[in-house]
Amino acid sequence: MESLNLIDTFSEFKELKNIDRATMMSVLEDVFRGMMVKNYGSDENFDIIINIDKGDFEIWRNREVVEDDNLEDPNLEITLSEAKKIDEDYEIGEEVTDEVKLADFGRRAILSLRQNLTSRILDPEKNNLYAKYKDRIGEVVTGEIYQVWKREILVLDDEGNELILPKSEQIPSDYFRKGDTIRAVVIKVEMKNNNPLIVLSRTSPVFLERLFELEVPEIFDGLITIKKIVRVPGERAKVAVESYDERIDPVGACVGMKGSRIHGIVRELKNENIDVINYTNNVQLFIQRALSPAKISSIKIKEEDKKAEVFLMPNEVSLAIGKGGLNIRLASQLSGYEIDVYREGVEEDEEDVNLEEFADEIEGWIIDEMKSIGCDTARSVLDLSVEDLVKRTDLEEETIQEVMKVLNAEFE
């Protein structure tokens, strides 16, 4: 029975695609010879015949025939009387070759051999898988969802290799079921407990970059370069692009006719809002483009602090900041400058009141919602219409009207 188990192991080895025949033969013989040394003290007088295709093997031991009372090493020598039990024609000095049965080693030795074989054969397979994916870091792979867990998803590639997509690397609105096809980028490959761990990501900026390469031929061909990508997965992304050919409009090429090219990327990223921006070395112009769709009046750059003071008309402030401060945060990351927004046309001595002063009349979470769109004073809220505030915040129209009523009372 133990012999059959070992043959089953052979069958498993035959299915391994990344192990060449010579390597497998070498490892198998090495493991068997190790067992000979352990049990007999030497493997020099053993012939091991392995048939990988059939999944079987034979072990033959060669011993010299000696007189019955002259036996010194039972492993290298055999007495004449024992030799004649095998064949009556044997004489002193001749060599006897007899087969060693696996069962002679005992159950424990056979189990140990099987474990050793499995470990030694699978190690090269694991190393090859590790090396293969180590070279594919940054590539998009397509796989099938095999198992969905709370903290991660197990994905199988075309060859049945196991890949991991952690929850932290999934877009918040991602929802997958077993059998679904998924695309993601390889971001990390490492050996963990002697097993290759291949980690995928759908939230990495690299994933968005590779999707642009797949959808926009000019990027793939190198005519357009992606200078930088920043994103909040599933919400918004900003992509700065530059063309080396003056005849090519990089933004137009990335978006495509009527949005045909970018639509596929947006769909893959669960309707993530993607702003494609023309890159420029002019810092002021680049910040202006990064804060789109807001229209900027003027910008003051503080190069030593890497800060930018941006002045806008009051009705443009909420556009620049964006819902939850998303637009200004991404613009800061894209430009590399800390951006501060100021309202143009507001006199310094003009009467205004900080929203925090109304904490007794307006609930804290409502004040926080207003501040998240850049409205931190009473007048900054009153400068916007009710419709604009409804659009920019998660507040109900009735709530906003109540807030404005409280704020207006302050200036009456």
Model confidence at 4, pLDDT cuts 50, 70, 90, reads: very low
Q: For the CA atoms of 89, 94, 95, 97, what is the dihedral angle to 10 degrees? A: 0
**Contact present, 227 and 241 (Cβ < 8 Å):** yes
Burial of 246 (0-12, 13-18, 19+ CB in 10 A): exposed
Query: For residue range 181-212, what is the model confidence (pLDDT) as tens digits?
Result: 999 999 999 998 888 999 999 999 999 999 99
Secondary structure of residue 39 in the 3-state scheme? helix
* Residue 76 reports pLDDT greater than 80: yes
DSSP 284-349: HHHHHHHTTTSPPSEEEEETTTTEEEEEE-HHHHHHHH-GGGHHHHHHHHHHTSEEEEEETT--TT
Is pLDDT of 344 > 80? no
Count of H helices and E strands in the chain? 15, 15
**Residue 42: band (very low, low, confident or very high) from pLDDT cuts 50, 70, 90:** confident
- pLDDT band at residue 2 using 50, 70 and 90 as cut-offs: very low
DSSP β-ladder status, 56-66 and 77-79: parallel
Residue 265: band (very low, low, confident or very high) from pLDDT cuts 50, 70, 90: very high
> Among all chains, which residue has been given the structure tokens 């890949």?
163
pLDDT computed for residue 346 by the predictor: 52
φ and ψ at 105, to 5 degrees? -85, -15
Please give the share of the chain, as a percent, with pLDDT higher than 70. Answer: 90
Average pLDDT (80-85) is: 84
What is the structure's pLDDT at 390?
Answer: 83
Kindly report which listed range (74-78, 117-121, 242-246, 320-324) carries the lowest average pLDDT score.
Answer: 117-121
**Average pLDDT over every residue of 93-109:** 78
In this structure, the chain runs to a length of 412
> Which phi and psi (to 5°) does residue 346 adopt?
-100, 115
Instruction: Give the pLDDT of residue 140.
Output: 95
Looking only at the bridges linking them, the beta strands covering 95-99 and 56-66 are antiparallel
| DSSP state letter for 46 | E
User: Which one of 5-19, 25-39, 182-196 scores highest in mean pLDDT?
Assistant: 182-196
Domain boundary assignment for the chain: 2-131, 136-201, 355-411
Q: Is the pLDDT of residue 1 over 90?
A: no
Report in angstroms the alpha-carbon separations of 405 from 368, 402, 409, 410, 411. 18, 5, 6, 9, 11
Contact (CB, 8 A) for 214 and 140:
yes
> What was the pLDDT predicted at 361?
87
- pLDDT at 171 > cutoff 90: yes
Give per-residue pLDDT as tens, 216-237: 999 999 999 999 999 999 999 9
Are 368 and 311 contacting, i.e. CB atoms less than 8 angstroms apart?
A: no
pLDDT of residue 349: 43
Cα–Cα distance measured from residue 48 to residue 29, given in angstroms and rounded to the nearest whole number? 7
List, as one string, the DSSP characters of 141-178: EEEEEEEE-SSEEEEE-TT--EEEEEGGGS-TT----T
Q: pLDDT: is 373 or 55 the higher one?
A: 373
- Better pLDDT: 212 or 323: 212
pLDDT in tens, 121-144: 677 778 888 989 999 999 999 999
Quick: pLDDT tens for 371-390: 777 777 888 888 788 887 88
Which residue did the predictor score with more confidence, 239 or 128?
Answer: 239
Q: Read off the tokens for 226.
A: 């992606």
**Whole-angstrom Cα distance, residue 156 to residue 179?**
10
The count of other CB atoms within 10 Å of the CB of residue 177 is 7
Give the pLDDT band of residue 19 (cuts 50, 70, 90): low
What is the rounded distance in angstroms from the CA atom of residue 100 to the CA atom of residue 61?
Answer: 7
Spatial distance between the Cα atoms of 42 and 57, rounded to a whole number of angstroms: 19
Fold adopted by 2-131 = N Utilization Substance Protein A; Chain:P; domain 4 (3.30.1480)
H/E segment holding residue 29: helix 21-40
When the pLDDT of each residue in the chain is averaged and rounded to a whole number, the result is 84
Supply 366's token pair. Answer: 């409502």
Please report the DSSP string for 213-243 in residue order.
HHH-HHHHTTSEEEEEEEEETTTEEEEEEEE
136-201: CATH architecture: Beta Barrel (2.40)
Residue 57 has a pLDDT of: 74
Tokens describing residue 156: 């199988």
